[in-house]
Homo-oligomer: A and B are copies of this chain.
């Protein structure tokens, strides 16, 4: 009575991109902004521990931070944190740039008729700023936190992105800079490519399941043939 499993298609993969640290050089600004927000409510947490949690959904991020603290925070303080972070991030936003090769990589995929989408734990409003920085149209395929029930490391963002493109997520490759992207990729049964551009170590990404690691979008673009995109020389 078992259905035979659907065979793996070997189709040309679609690419599902994380945003912060993967296409946009914004991870350190987010880290510093969370550090400032926590300081404002009287919480001192080592900066590297914040860095290691970035890319999770806001809810899980706060749960993870609380686990590190010896004190608890009252509901009201917890509720203020996301806004304090957003304000601190805006103060540093001028220094945010696209990562090298980000716009060119997306353009190349489009030219090669390879489907792609962006799936971010961030909210629609800030993600739209990002589209502008990357020189993308407003209707570029973009899935944000507010469109799914659970953000990374749950797979919903990537599942929804694949659905939006009309592709099987198992034919897709997730590109992300954080452990949470790669865990979500595994949960979704997609392959994961890690990028070092979010500041995590190569092995952290490999141990989280990356089947290949590149430095940044430019490095991935230079090696697209390694991950299923054959282009004429």
Residues of A within 8 A of B (CB): 25, 27-29, 31-32, 35-36, 39, 44, 46-48, 51, 92, 95, 97, 99-100, 196-204, 216
Number of copies: 2
Question: Nearest B residue to A51 by beta-carbon distance?
Answer: B199
Q: Tell whether, in the assembled complex, residue B28 and residue A47 are in contact, meaning their CB atoms are under 8 Å apart.
A: yes
Q: Tell whether, in the assembled complex, residue B95 and residue A198 are in contact, meaning their CB atoms are under 8 Å apart.
A: no
Shortest distance from the beta carbon of A7 to any chain B beta carbon, whole Å: 36
Given contacts A28-B31, A202-B203, contact A197 B97 (CB under 8 A): no
A-B interface, 6 closest residue pairs, ranked by CB to CB distance from nearest: A201-B201, A203-B203, A48-B199, A28-B47, A201-B204, A25-B46
Shortest distance from the beta carbon of A78 to any chain B beta carbon, whole Å: 21
Q: Tell whether, in the assembled complex, residue A46 and residue B197 are in contact, meaning their CB atoms are under 8 Å apart.
A: yes
Q: Tell whether, in the assembled complex, residue A97 and residue B48 are in contact, meaning their CB atoms are under 8 Å apart.
A: no
Q: Tell whether, in the assembled complex, residue B48 and residue A198 are in contact, meaning their CB atoms are under 8 Å apart.
A: yes
Q: Tell whether, in the assembled complex, residue A95 and residue B35 are in contact, meaning their CB atoms are under 8 Å apart.
A: yes
Q: Tell whether, in the assembled complex, residue B198 and residue A201 are in contact, meaning their CB atoms are under 8 Å apart.
A: no
Q: Tell whether, in the assembled complex, residue B95 and residue A46 are in contact, meaning their CB atoms are under 8 Å apart.
A: no
